[in-house]
Structure 1
Amino acid sequence: MRLSLLWSREFLTSRFILWALFISNLLGTVYGYIWYEAQLRETWANYPRWLIPFVPDSPTASLFFTLALLFLMFPATLSKYNRIHTLIEALAVVTSVKYGIWAVSIIFAGAYQGEVLVWQDWMLVASHLAMAVEAMLFVRFFKYGTVMLLAAGAWTFLNDFIDYSFGVYPWLPKALWDDVGYVAVFTVALTGASIAAGWIAMRAAKRI
Structure 2
Amino acid sequence: MTWLFSILTNKAFIWLLLIVNLLGTIYGYIWYMPQLRNTPDQFMIFVPDSPTASLFFCFVLIAFLRNRNWPLFEVLAIITLFKYGVWAVVMNLLTLMVSGELPWEGYMLMVSHGAMALQGLLYSSFYRVKMWHLAAGALWTLHNDIIDYVYMQFPVYSKLFLYIQNIGYFTFWLSIFSIALAYYFTQKTPRYHLDPNF
Superposed pair shares fold, TM > 0.5: yes
* Number of the residue aligned with 1:51: 43
Q: Which amino acid aligns with 2:164?
A: V
Deviation digits for residues 21-56 of structure 1 (CA, Å, limit 9, x no counterpart) = 00000110011000101001121xxxx311111110
Q: 1:27 aligns with which of 14, 23, 28?
A: 23
- Maintained 8 Å contact 2:127/2:191: no
Correspondence 1:189 to 2:180: no
Cα RMSD (Å)? 1.5
Give distance in 2, aligned partners of 1:170 and 1:5. 39
- Maintained 8 Å contact 1:64/1:91: yes
Q: 1:62 aligns with which of 50, 54, 59?
A: 54
1:94–1:178 CA distance, 2 compared to 1 (3 A) = same
- Maintained 8 Å contact 1:136/1:201: yes
Q: Which amino acid aligns with 1:67?
A: F
The structural deviation recorded for 1:6 is: 4.6
The structural deviation recorded for 1:111 is: 1.2
* Number of the residue aligned with 1:146: 131
The structural deviation recorded for 1:149 is: 1.2
Give distance in 2, aligned partners of 1:94 and 1:105. 17
Correspondence 1:14 to 2:14: no
The structural deviation recorded for 1:145 is: 1.8
- Maintained 8 Å contact 1:65/1:89: yes
The within-5 A match list for 1:50-199 is 50-75=42-67, 85-174=70-159, 176-199=160-183
Count of residues in Structure 1 that have an aligned counterpart in Structure 2 = 192
- Structure 1: gaps spanning 5 or more residues: none
Given the two structures, how large is their TM-score scaled by the length of structure 2?
0.92
- Maintained 8 Å contact 2:85/2:116: yes
Given the two structures, how large is their TM-score scaled by the length of structure 1?
0.88
Partner SS for 1:178: helix
Q: Which amino acid aligns with 2:32?
A: Y
The structure in which a higher percent of residues are helix is: 1
The structural deviation recorded for 1:99 is: 0.2
